[in-house]
Amino acid sequence: MSKTKKTNDIEKEQMDSIENETVEVEEQEVETLTKEEKLEIELKQEKDKFLRLFAEFENYKKRTSKERIDLFKTASQDVMVAMLPILDDFDRAYSEISKTEEKELLKGVELINNKLKATLEQKGLSVIDVKQGDAFNADNHEAITQIPAPSEDLKGKIIDVVEKGYILGDKVIRFPKVVIGQ
């Protein structure tokens, strides 16, 4: 019996060791699965961070390119604003010279005037079209005074344009100064 008992004990020990190894392997697999799951979760988090960072960078690129385009459109705004009084003086001079009989002087001033206006129009400057009899709109016009309307149909309308208004690109750089009837 002792031999049998010893064999049984040995077999039992072997079985126990095999079971223990199996349990250890299963525990390691569970740990490995949780490590894999942890890695998958970390990977998802890193992908999410990457996508957010990429989207933020794309928005930054779009915003800066839009700002650059706007800057180029209105970069010459200071120069254009400084040129507006010169344009006004040129228009006044042209209207006075056109009253004289000196045709050569009138042609010379007209050529210079047209060339200057064409150059400024190429750079994006345009005149706001306002006529006598148009309805006054405080959003688009600057009223400098009110006078009694010469007729009933001119009440609340533009009687005279004192200074022209100008637009640079899509931005108004000077509103037209008008006289309105009351």
In tens, the pLDDT along 13-48 reads: 666 666 666 556 555 655 666 888 888 899 999 999
Residues 112 and 69 in one domain: no
Higher pLDDT, 86 or 22: 86
**Given the DSSP bridges, would you call strands 125-128 and 171-174 parallel, antiparallel or unpaired?**
unpaired
Element holding 80 (H helix, E strand): helix 77-97
Residues 55 and 87 in one domain: no
Furthest CA-CA distance within the chain: 147
Q: Give the whole-number percent of the chain exceeding pLDDT 70.
A: 81
Kindly report the CATH number assigned to the domain that includes residue 142. 2.30.22.10
**Does residue 64 register a pLDDT over 80?**
yes
**Does residue 139 register a pLDDT over 80?**
yes
Handedness of CA 49, 51, 53, 56 (dihedral sign): negative
**Does residue 97 register a pLDDT over 70?**
yes
Residues 37 and 10 in one domain: yes
Structural domain of 144: 125-182
Residues 52 and 66 in one domain: yes
- At 35 the pLDDT is 83
Residue among 141, 139, 140 nearest 160 (CA): 141
Give 133's pLDDT tier (boundaries 50, 70, 90): confident
For residue 168, give every residue at least 6 positions away whose Cβ sits within 8 Å of its Cβ, in sequence order, or none: 73, 74, 76, 77, 80, 124, 125
**Does residue 2 register a pLDDT over 60?**
no
**Does residue 181 register a pLDDT over 60?**
yes
Residues 130 and 93 in one domain: no
Residues 105 and 172 in one domain: no
Total structural domains within the chain: 3
- At 18 the pLDDT is 64
| β strands within the chain, DSSP E | 125-128, 142-147, 158-163, 165-168, 171-174, 177-181
In tens, the pLDDT along 111-130 reads: 988 999 999 999 888 999 99
What's this model's pTM, rounded to 2 decimal places? 0.60
